[in-house]
Structure 1
């Protein structure tokens, strides 16, 4: 049951496991701060990206086998190392990663002003098979649900829409539609009809994918604070946003109103870094990493009631969090150079 009807109160026994009950199943380290992460659509692969310009791709089954060898079927072949690829083709910080929805392709964005596409089926390929160069450092990148286009944002306010096959770039031709400052987060709706952007100018915008034009703007979405993250629900009807004011909001797109505000994170004051509000895989919970305490704040998505806090075990700010779309698993990427893979094993 996804967030199709927010008035519907679910029986607690039918909820997915609370994220605070997950455990660290694997930790991987980079040589510098880790600031980007992604799950593949099937949930079998994870990617992490670092300020050291490297990208790692990890196999979820191998991470789970490493953390609980007693659960691995003894008849199976010995599992290999969880890190199945390390990609070195950027020259500066990796800012964003996304997997192609259907193919074994990873797209990366970097402060080196490049977007790169990697074919991850090729074990020996350390380099991208396609590179798109921009004039500005690239901050965000995301695949369309069909995989034929990507949206990207840079330190410049204008959003780019690229054709993956031809690398042709499209931008909205109407100056008044654009953000006034850089875009911190950008995502396609699951139905592919539109995309959302959250900006340092404090606004959230909704764009039509076909015309590439803005059709709705939530001005001062977070009381004037920078918007840090945007995330659609699976039915494409609602948008979850977070801001530098440490507040998380759920918007109904049909009415342009904020339905729910999730409060109580960041009680020690204003956060310094961008953080993401995300749903778990069933949309029963909203998750947000609290910067001051490096703990995970979780709420019931419908009632907005707080769940128990959980320490994320990092020695630095958590700079990125992403939950699997298919399983009770999430990834935290931190300034302590590490990425932690969290998982909830069956307890029965």
Structure 2
């Protein structure tokens, strides 16, 4: 990452450009085929309604051309094995991830989130507002207003909750689930991220520092490296290769740090930046892009090399604060949540909201920033409902609501994170507790 990369000319937003003529003509032709097919199949009233809705020409004759074109296309449809592999996933047993272009072909669907059970509860001495999983899903970290950080071993938590069911081959079972407690911040720990390649935990705090801990050393409680910022830290995300870290603070400008030199880069173009505090940010799995969201109501996409904003979704959640962003594994989609208690799935190639996941937030606008996350297979979208302290879940493909589940907290859930590798997630709450949820495989 060089300064030359960061000082290129202003980016243009695709939504500002008119749709190309060839795309308009292609869409008109598609509608014509659909209308003709409806007429051919005897659905005259539906075809007429569609014709009026899209302002198509009124001279469409009945035809089954669309049906024959689809039959031809299906002969060349790639099988699941031939499709491009998702980038950055080490576990090949969790399915192909979300792709709306194809029908799902998973023989073993992921369990509904409402079927998960609390496997372990850990407590801090203050509100618990930060939490994350390691890249392999074997460790979790929690952070608190009391300035402490806990690192917990997943296998030990599972062994502690059901020792008779634990498979001995899964690893070390003996010992307390909390394997490290770290104290090196002076104020609230606001965000946590495991390094994607190394056994390092990165933490951000309201004390305006970012700290790196070597978690292989049991006796070490202090960070081996500290980055000092000028504002309290709000969120951060590692580049998939681990060499760079993007950071959001109580300031609209995004900071990008070189983790080898600790040099800080910012985009030099003021009109690329958000106008209010950035609430969340994430790298895509292929590292080509990162996304940011803000209290200004917008979502921005940034080029991962030049550090320039390449697209903006203004008023992404009807002008209200956008609380979280997360890329799908294949990089085609972006999941967001807003303070209107609605989660949205955006198609990045067209900058369109394809699906809105609604029904959470029975009291309207929520008070706290809540995250929407995919489960490990991207079959479901999870979101904590602030009003009822329950878990809302939707089918990621069609937004059908799944069964609500009480999260068992006595305060607002301030952080939710799902395991990247298995049916497990973490909730962190203002009741001082973090709960580890897990779906055990039923025994026959």
- Please indicate the TM-score interval, normalised by the length of the shorter structure: over 0.9
In 2, Cα distance between equivalents of 1:7 and 1:207: 25
Give the Å deviation of 1:8.
Answer: 3.7
CA deviations 1:65-122 (Å, max 9, x no partner) are 0000112357987610000000100011111101011110011111000011111001
In 2, Cα distance between equivalents of 1:31 and 1:241: 31
Give structure 1 stretches of 5+ with no counterpart: none
Higher CA-based Rg: 2
Contact 1:20-1:309 at 8 Å conserved across structures: yes
Q: Tell me which residue corresponds to 1:19.
A: 113
1:257 maps onto 2:352 in alignment: yes
Contact 1:3-1:302 at 8 Å conserved across structures: no
RMSD: 1.5
Match of 1:205 among 300, 312, 317: 300
Match of 2:165 among 71, 74, 78: 71
In 2, Cα distance between equivalents of 1:172 and 1:241: 23
Q: Tell me which residue corresponds to 1:51.
A: 145
Give the Å deviation of 1:9.
Answer: 4.2
Match of 1:179 among 246, 252, 274: 274
State how 1:319-334 maps to structure 2 within 5 Å.
319-334=414-429
In 1, Cα distance between equivalents of 2:133 and 2:321: 26
Give the Å deviation of 1:333.
Answer: 0.1
Match of 2:134 among 16, 34, 40: 40
Q: Tell me which residue corresponds to 2:375.
A: 280
State how 1:55-204 maps to structure 2 within 5 Å.
55-72=149-166, 79-204=174-299
In 2, Cα distance between equivalents of 1:77 and 1:252: 42
Q: Tell me which residue corresponds to 1:29.
A: 123
* 1:27 to 1:220, Cα distance in 2 relative to 1, 3 A: same
In 1, Cα distance between equivalents of 2:272 and 2:173: 55
Match of 1:245 among 332, 340, 353: 340
TM-score by length of 1: 0.97
In 1, Cα distance between equivalents of 2:162 and 2:388: 28
The residue matched to 1:86 in structure 2 has which SS? Answer: strand
* 1:241 to 1:74, Cα distance in 2 relative to 1, 3 A: closer
Give the Å deviation of 1:7.
Answer: 4.8
CA deviations 1:114-142 (Å, max 9, x no partner) are 01111100111101111000110010111
Give the Å deviation of 1:214.
Answer: 0.3
Q: Detail structure 1 runs of 4+ shifted over 2 Å in the superposition.
A: 1-5, 7-14, 72-78
Contact 2:212-2:224 at 8 Å conserved across structures: yes
1:343 maps onto 2:438 in alignment: yes
Contact 1:118-1:129 at 8 Å conserved across structures: yes
Structure with bigger strand share is 1
1:309 maps onto 2:309 in alignment: no
CA deviations 1:141-160 (Å, max 9, x no partner) are 11110000000010010000
In 2, Cα distance between equivalents of 1:235 and 1:11: 16
In 1, Cα distance between equivalents of 2:143 and 2:389: 20
Contact 1:43-1:325 at 8 Å conserved across structures: yes
Q: Tell me which residue corresponds to 2:55.
A: none
The residue matched to 1:101 in structure 2 has which SS? Answer: coil
In 2, Cα distance between equivalents of 1:261 and 1:194: 23
TM-score by length of 2: 0.77
Q: Tell me which residue corresponds to 2:331.
A: 236
Contact 1:9-1:302 at 8 Å conserved across structures: no
* 1:74 to 1:112, Cα distance in 2 relative to 1, 3 A: closer
CA deviations 1:163-200 (Å, max 9, x no partner) are 01110000000000000001000000000011000100
